[in-house]
Chains A and B, each alone.
Chain A
Amino acid sequence: MEAIVIQTLNGVSLASILVLTSLGLAVIFGMLGVVNLAHGELFMLGAYAVATMNMFGLSPWWGLLVAPIVVGAIGMLMERTIIRWLYHRPLDTLLATWGVSIVLRQVVRLIYGTGHMSSTSLMVGSTTVFGYEYPIYRLFLIGITVVIVLVTFLLYFKTNFGLKIRLVISNRSMARALGINTSKTDMWAFGIASALGGLAGAIMSPLVTIDPEMGLTFLAKGFIVVIVGGIGSLYGVIAGGVVIGGGEAAISFLLRPVVAQIIIVLLAIVIIRVRPKGITGG
């Protein structure tokens, strides 16, 4: 019984991590049609924000606040200088954002060195869930993911800005004819998505080793979640996160974690073959 409860919680928290990292990717793709290969590096920068606060002796909570602001600003800068010239060349955005990801990684290396960084945990200890011990931070992770997803959905479906975004997605030229500054909404959407990536990195920072390469693993997983779930839809991210996260937790319970990760990627390729539009797509 204990194994089942703990494994279920592990699966849910893994799914939360994946949803958190993929949300920004899905927003950028759904809105702008851009696959942002630098998203993993934005995630990495978020984690470095927490580690930097830690280095200066400040509370890691400051990192959680600073990460989305700084990373969001970097994202907006990236959109203004590079991405916006390439909207009509999707394959080229792939290579350009790939270049950005290499640049960000090397800049971090130059500033912080190649070694690992660490951040103190935001909260330590464990609590009892259904009578079993479970780390409190992982529960916080699940909770904050739910909050972030809800806020994103509210922003998307209930606010004026969300309305503009949805209008731009469904008909860009009509949106422009109605007087919406599409270039501005593009910039803000990219900024918000980047901020989501940075926030995800900051939240994940106590659970992973922080080094310049960390973004790559999360990027690859994030994309698999987005593709398996259904490209460009917010619901798809959640579905994909649950399937991939739950699957990985279940398989790593039975086999070695490395083998589990291999199986998950291969499984994802098979899922794509069977359901090309993802789990939520028609």
Chain B
Amino acid sequence: MSNNLLYKQPKSWALGILLLALCLFPQVFSGYQTSLLAKFLVFGIFALSLDLIWGYSGIVNFGHAIFFGAGAYAMGIALKYLPFAGATYLAVIFAILVPMIIAILLGYFLFYGRVGGVFFGVVTLALTGVVQSIIIVSSDLTGGMNGLFDFPPPKLGIPGILEFDLYSPTVAYYTVLVSAIGCYLLAKYIVNSDFGRVIQAIREDEDRVEFLGYNVPFMKVVIFAIACGMAGFSGALYVPLGFISPDLLSIERSAVVLVWVAVGGRGTLVGAFVGTLVVSYLQTFLSDQFVVLWLLFIGMLAILVILIWPSGIVGFARTHPFKSLILFKRS
């Protein structure tokens, strides 16, 4: 795991070019390409939220898609039952709060019960099936297996004066881009704050942090709730770009997000976006013809990355000689 202090920040001119390219993307490419990139950036936020707990606090979550799905469902349900102007903002807040509350409840029972490390991962895995069953069983609210679709489209802007329809690819893209940058800066602020340092200390040695007088379970619940709220937010952003169905909470989605983060590099934050974009674009090239082979590839990628390349793309780029060609340079 890398320590941020050891590395120089990305060069500012390179960062500027990257931002400019991202801003101009919808002007150059088609609507389809724009909404595809928007979708992948949403997944990037989702992966970022996993990196926050997996890479920084050592909590491995095999059911992270629960919180993504909970956010999307909360957004859809809120839009359906709050049919007035400006409801989108309330729905987004709702989409962040619901996963947060689930996370706090789960965290209270598990972290205070000292279920840490590997067994936390196992319980979250078991929980995925349960939450999926709950959504299918309560079909009056969630639409069951058919998914949730009959809600008014989410709108941004000032209600009644200036409204943007989020279903337009360009509006969705810029919303997602701003959100992605915002979430990244928030995550960066958190891991570099005092709180973030305690979290990283917990990852290294939980007992020692406890002896230093910190309330470890409480800290874990807090970071878990923040990460799950962020996952819920990404789920809400996904609503105008995709389709709300129980598939959003599938075990495959939870597995793929782990692979995104592992490939990009755990504990690097920016690696979450890198891994997501690399693997997702690879998927669009490969998976249309071979769904079975694609998942096989994902499984093998998980094994190989863990065995021979545990630091991921960003970790590798930061520690190897051709580093000067990349955005990241070691001091």
Contacts and interface: CB of A to CB of B under 8 A. Distances in A.
A98 interface: yes
Interface in B224-262: 251, 255, 258, 262
Given A35-B118, A91-B60, A224-B126, A107 B296 contact: yes
Interface string B48-74: 000000000010101000000000000
A124 interface: no
For this complex, into which size category does the number of interface residues on chain B fall? Answer: 35 or more
B301 interface: yes
Nearest to B112: A273
Interface residues of A, number: 47
Given A99-B303, A223-B126, A94 B121 contact: yes
Interface string A240-282: 0000000000000000001101100110111011101000000
Interface stretch (B28-36, B130-138, B168-176, B314-322): B130-138
Contacts of B112: 273
A133 interface: no
B292 A102 contact: no
B307 A85 contact: yes
Contacts of B306: 86, 92, 95-96, 99
A94 B54 CA distance: 12
A110 interface: yes
Contacts, number: 130
Contacts of A221: 126
Contacts of A266: 130
Interface in A124-165: none
Q: Mostly helix, strand, loop or mixed at chain A's interface?
A: helix
Nearest to A259: B137
Contacts of B129: 216-217, 220, 261, 265
Interface string B1-20: 00000000000000000000
B201 interface: no
Given A35-B118, A98-B62, A269 B125 contact: no
A100 interface: yes
